[in-house]
């Protein structure tokens, strides 16, 4: 579930889609069923948010696998990679294990 403040929601509604390189409003999403990650936890690091529709779809699976392969390039720049989709944390866990992913997948299970 997304946890954001009223000012974050207002920002998104008043600005619309944020351009590349813009500062994203803070949010908190589940990484596992009992662990969350807030964007503010990564303050001071470049963050790459990779939004994708679903874990097990062929195109998305290939896209996420490609990100996993080039992850060392992102890390050379101190960047953190986060995958975000509407799948639940349990689904993400199975998908990440199956694809041997080395970055967190965030569950935006109740998108707004």
- In angstroms, the CA 87 to CA 91 distance is 6
Q: Is the pLDDT of residue 15 over 70?
A: no
Q: What is the pLDDT of residues 36-72, one digit of tens each?
A: 999 999 999 999 999 999 999 888 888 999 999 999 9
pTM of the model: 0.80
**Residue 14 pLDDT class (50, 70, 90 cuts):** low
Cβ burial of 27 (10 Å; 0-12, 13-18, 19+) is buried
- In angstroms, the CA 42 to CA 33 distance is 20
91 tagged catalytic:
no
CA separation (Å) from 87 to 1, 61, 64, 92? 11, 13, 14, 7
Q: What is the pLDDT of residues 67-92, one digit of tens each?
A: 999 999 999 999 999 999 999 999 99
Decide: 23 and 42 in contact? Cβ < 8 Å.
no
Among residues 29, 39, 60, 106, the one annotated as catalytic is: 60
């Amino acid at each position: 579930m997304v946890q954001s403040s009223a000012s974050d929601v207002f920002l998104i509604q008043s600005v619309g889609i944020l351009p590349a390189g813009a500062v994203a409003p803070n949010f908190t999403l589940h990484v596992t069923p009992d662990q969350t990650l807030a964007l503010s936890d990564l303050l001071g690091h470049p963050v790459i948010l990779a939004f994708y529709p679903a874990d097990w779809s062929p195109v998305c699976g290939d896209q996420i696998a490609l990100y996993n392969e080039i992850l060392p390039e992102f890390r050379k720049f101190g960047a953190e990679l986060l995958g975000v989709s509407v799948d639940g944390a349990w689904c993400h866990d199975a998908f990440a294990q199956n694809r041997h992913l080395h970055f967190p997948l965030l569950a935006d299970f109740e998108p707004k």
